[in-house]
Amino acid sequence: MNIKDYMNGQNSGIEYACRIVKEKGIEGLAEECKSRKKTNIPISIERKKCDEAIERIKLNTIDTIRILSLAVLRDEFGFGKDRLKRFVERFEIKTECICEEYVKWEDIIENIKEETGLEEFIRKNEVR
């Protein structure tokens, strides 16, 4: 990277930070910094576009997990249409509880452990 590109990046970052402070205050900037650090999303991508992409990814992930679960329940455990429909209804309720933050993943994991002895975990998307 040459110095001109580096300086343009620096200037764009400062301008972006100023816009956030004007719109959301210093707390908004602090939240943006925290989010960017956690996700490693480049500053050149607007937060609104990131949020839209994240929402699409969440919905896609939910759909694929639901479909894969249906396939396993059908193929391995012989679930028919009625039981699969009941599963989908319950899955959607649980999904909504997570999405609306009525319950946390830690709570669900702990409940599974207490009731079954199974120790589950969610792999973290951390930079090593």
Residue 23 in domain: yes
> Does the pLDDT at position 127 exceed 70?
no
* Residue that the structure tokens 């400062």 belong to: 14
Residue 19 in domain: yes
Residue 127 in domain: no
Is the model's pTM score more than 0.85?
no
62-81 as b/e, with b when 16 or more CB fall inside 10 Å? eeeeeeeebeeeeeeeebee
Residue 6 in domain: yes
- Mean pLDDT, the chain, rounded, equals 89
Residue 71 in domain: no
Residue 36 in domain: yes
pLDDT of residue 28: 87
Residue 125 in domain: no
Residue 26 in domain: yes
- Per the structure, the count of domains in the chain is 1
* Domain that includes residue 22, residue range: 1-45
CA distances 33 to 17, 27, 43, 53, 116, Å, are: 9, 10, 10, 18, 40
Residue 8 near residue 43, CB atoms below 8 Å: no
